[in-house]
A and B are shown apart, each in its own frame.
Chain A
Amino acid sequence: MTDAEILSVLRPDGTVDPSLDPGLPDPELLSLYRHMALLRAIDEKAVALQRSGRIGFFVPSTGQEACSIGAGHAVREGDWIFPAYRDHGVGLMRGYPLAALVGQILGNTADATRGRQMPNHWCDRSIHLVSVSSPVATQLPHAVGAAYAAKVRGERIAVLATFGDGGTSTGDFHAAMNFTGVFRLPVVFFCENNRYAISHRVEDQTATRTLAEKAPAYGLPGVRVDGNDVLAVRKVVGDAMGRARAGEGGTLIEALTYRLGPHSTSDDPTVYRSEEEVAAWRGKDPIRRFAAFLMGRGLLEDPAAEEAGAKEIVRRAVEAAEDAPPVPLSSMFEDVYAEIPWHLAEQRDSLLSGKG
């Protein structure tokens, strides 16, 4: 497979290939840009919160905004999303409120999931944004099951499952791809190949030259897309979701991108990659690239002002949620089971009485 087979829509000069342009209306184009800028602003704020000790941890997605925003835009009402922890953009683009996202990061009573998980582990039933877990790729077999349920009910929906290059090495990836092929299910596997699983280079993750070429072994099509090109991602994911909704089965998409920041706030990427490599990818920044296109179209005048605006929106969201009260102690014992069994009631009462 050559680089020519990596689908790009945005040209380096800021124009688009008209034969591949997904043809989104202007307000939608602007919405993609604003969500990418918002995502970048969330990263900056969350990392600052972590550095100042106000939250414990964060997983940034800087550099990969085109992936999650482009993919998220291809999701329709009724579809399901099984995201990885770096893909808050997918939910955000689908309407997961910023206030909810910020609440989850803070883990106080502003968090709809009651501080149960560390940052980046969001969910929202109303948009079928499924709860994130930390073990990599465990959500992929769930996507299979959700797709199966939709299929037997005759619903014409698609299921989007997102994960990284490291995820393709897991047994869960194999199981989910194989089941999807065997049962011909509407699952779109969106793999963000950001070149590193923490420190491990993708070249050392697999002996295949691409990740997409694993798909035919499961009877699925595999395609590669420029993951720093939001229009290309939107087009490829949109096409795959469309085929899935039409009953034509699943797809594996490999989006080639780069994680500009650390794996998480606990990671030091200077240990395993060079400044030159990072600088080269910084030059391919997906937000700047898309901004150039929008400016060429006359849809955007002042990117700096837009980005400052995004930062202000995030600042206000954090300000509004940061002083929410902590989650009550008793909530620790709730939602373990549908009803609180005797042993948890005893443990709760013991803790609350100060005798435990």
Chain B
Amino acid sequence: MTEPATTTAGTRTTSPSPADAVVRIRGLRKAFDGRTVLDDVNLEVARGSIVSVIGQSGGGKTTLMRCVNLLESPDAGTVEVAGEVVHQDGRRVCRDLPRLRRTVGMVFQRFNLFPHLTAVENVVLAQRTAGVPEQEALERAVTLLRRVGVAHRALAQPEQLSGGEQQRVAIARALALRPEVLLFDEPTSSLDPEATREVLSVMRELAADGMTMLLVTHELPFAREVSDHVVFVDRGRIVEAGSPRDVLDNPAQARTREFLAAYGSAS
């Protein structure tokens, strides 16, 4: 595995020091009902870097991501977040699960906004339960909604919003607790091309601001553009990992080439 390299996304530089990894996964294994979904997976996300996980649906990408904030419990291996081991050898070590989840923001494929609350309330809720004072939480929510370009829809219910708007509110919601790393689980997979463009442009801005991100995506051109590191996962194993140029343009493994050819972006 190569270390994350400096990207094209702006002035941001990444530290090569492994001590500064926000997420570090070692020897991860996970099975559902005896079917192995992830096997001996190692992954590192350096502070300020962007790592994209690509691969076929059902290959374990989403499960891998969900092991970071422990929405799934790994069967074996070590998960370390922000310098702290949170899961080891199939046991949760982290005592304060809510705190871990505030350190790791997550954006879902199906948005999962709270339908009974307005957009701005969606962004306020977790801040309040985390103890942020009301006015401060509201101000932050409005600032974030402005940042993702949906402040004009702040008082709308999620069902009144377009898919792109919903996903941008979901990004604002995930940012509200100032996480150290953001997880994106196929954030544009249920969006039309126009909405996809809106969401990707917000993510591009976050990248330019130096946000640490772990991204599961089928948007290979976007992954090539913003990622420091691309990981190709197939049948629960990391087949190939490296810079976008290495993995997406000059894949070493036959399986990677096959996958990229099927996506029509190997050229």
- Asked if A and B are interacting partners, one says no
